Protein backbone atom coordinates (compact mmCIF):
# COMPACT_ATOMS: atom_id res chain seq x y z
CA UNK A 1 0.00 0.00 0.00
CA UNK A 2 2.75 2.44 0.91
CA UNK A 3 4.62 1.72 -2.33
CA UNK A 4 1.43 2.47 -4.29
CA UNK A 5 1.10 5.80 -2.50
CA UNK A 6 4.71 6.63 -3.26
CA UNK A 7 4.14 5.77 -6.92
CA UNK A 8 1.13 8.07 -7.02
CA UNK A 9 3.09 10.83 -5.29
CA UNK A 10 5.89 10.52 -7.84
CA UNK A 11 3.44 10.69 -10.73
CA UNK A 12 1.71 13.74 -9.27
CA UNK A 13 5.05 15.50 -8.74
CA UNK A 14 5.71 15.17 -12.49
CA UNK A 15 2.52 17.05 -13.33
CA UNK A 16 2.35 20.83 -13.72
CA UNK A 17 0.84 22.67 -10.72
CA UNK A 18 -2.60 23.20 -12.28
CA UNK A 19 -2.94 19.45 -12.91
CA UNK A 20 -1.73 18.68 -9.40
CA UNK A 21 -4.66 20.81 -8.22
CA UNK A 22 -7.01 18.72 -10.36
CA UNK A 23 -5.63 15.50 -8.84
CA UNK A 24 -6.13 16.95 -5.35
CA UNK A 25 -9.71 18.00 -6.21
CA UNK A 26 -10.49 14.56 -7.63
CA UNK A 27 -9.05 12.77 -4.60
CA UNK A 28 -11.09 15.05 -2.34
CA UNK A 29 -14.22 14.26 -4.38
CA UNK A 30 -13.60 10.50 -4.02
CA UNK A 31 -13.09 10.77 -0.27
CA UNK A 32 -16.32 12.75 0.17
CA UNK A 33 -18.27 10.49 -2.18
CA UNK A 34 -17.39 7.33 -0.29
CA UNK A 35 -17.45 8.84 3.21
CA UNK A 36 -21.05 10.03 2.90
CA UNK A 37 -22.58 6.68 2.03
CA UNK A 38 -24.82 5.57 4.84
CA UNK A 39 -24.60 1.89 5.64
CA UNK A 40 -28.07 0.43 5.65
CA UNK A 41 -29.41 -3.03 6.07
CA UNK A 42 -30.85 -4.40 2.84
CA UNK A 43 -34.60 -4.16 2.54
CA UNK A 44 -36.64 -7.12 1.41
CA UNK A 45 -40.01 -5.41 1.12
CA UNK A 46 -40.18 -6.64 -2.47
CA UNK A 47 -40.19 -10.30 -1.38
CA UNK A 48 -43.38 -12.06 -2.42
CA UNK A 49 -44.38 -9.23 -4.72
CA UNK A 50 -45.02 -11.59 -7.65
CA UNK A 51 -46.61 -14.32 -5.57
CA UNK A 52 -49.80 -14.19 -7.63
CA UNK A 53 -47.82 -15.24 -10.73
CA UNK A 54 -46.27 -18.32 -9.13
CA UNK A 55 -48.79 -20.74 -10.68
CA UNK A 56 -48.63 -19.08 -14.09
CA UNK A 57 -44.83 -19.04 -14.64
CA UNK A 58 -41.76 -21.03 -13.57
CA UNK A 59 -39.01 -19.02 -11.89
CA UNK A 60 -37.01 -18.93 -15.15
CA UNK A 61 -40.03 -17.85 -17.18
CA UNK A 62 -40.74 -15.19 -14.59
CA UNK A 63 -37.18 -13.87 -14.88
CA UNK A 64 -37.63 -13.59 -18.64
CA UNK A 65 -41.03 -11.96 -18.20
CA UNK A 66 -39.62 -9.44 -15.73
CA UNK A 67 -36.92 -8.59 -18.25
CA UNK A 68 -39.59 -8.05 -20.90
CA UNK A 69 -41.55 -5.78 -18.55
CA UNK A 70 -38.47 -3.65 -17.93
CA UNK A 71 -37.86 -2.99 -21.63
CA UNK A 72 -41.49 -2.53 -22.71
CA UNK A 73 -42.28 1.05 -23.70
CA UNK A 74 -44.79 2.68 -21.40
Q: What is the pLDDT of residue 42?
A: 87
CA dist 39 and 22 (Å) reads: 29
Q: What is the pLDDT of residues 15-45, one digit of tens each?
A: 999 999 999 999 999 999 888 777 888 888 8
Give pLDDT tens digits for 37-74.
Answer: 778 888 888 888 878 878 888 889 888 888 888 887 76
pTM, to two decimals: 0.46
What is the pLDDT, as a whole number, of residue 74? 62
pLDDT > 80? residue 2: no
Amino acid sequence: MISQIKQIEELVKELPPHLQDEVRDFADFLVKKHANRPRRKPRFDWAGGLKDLRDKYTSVELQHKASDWRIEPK
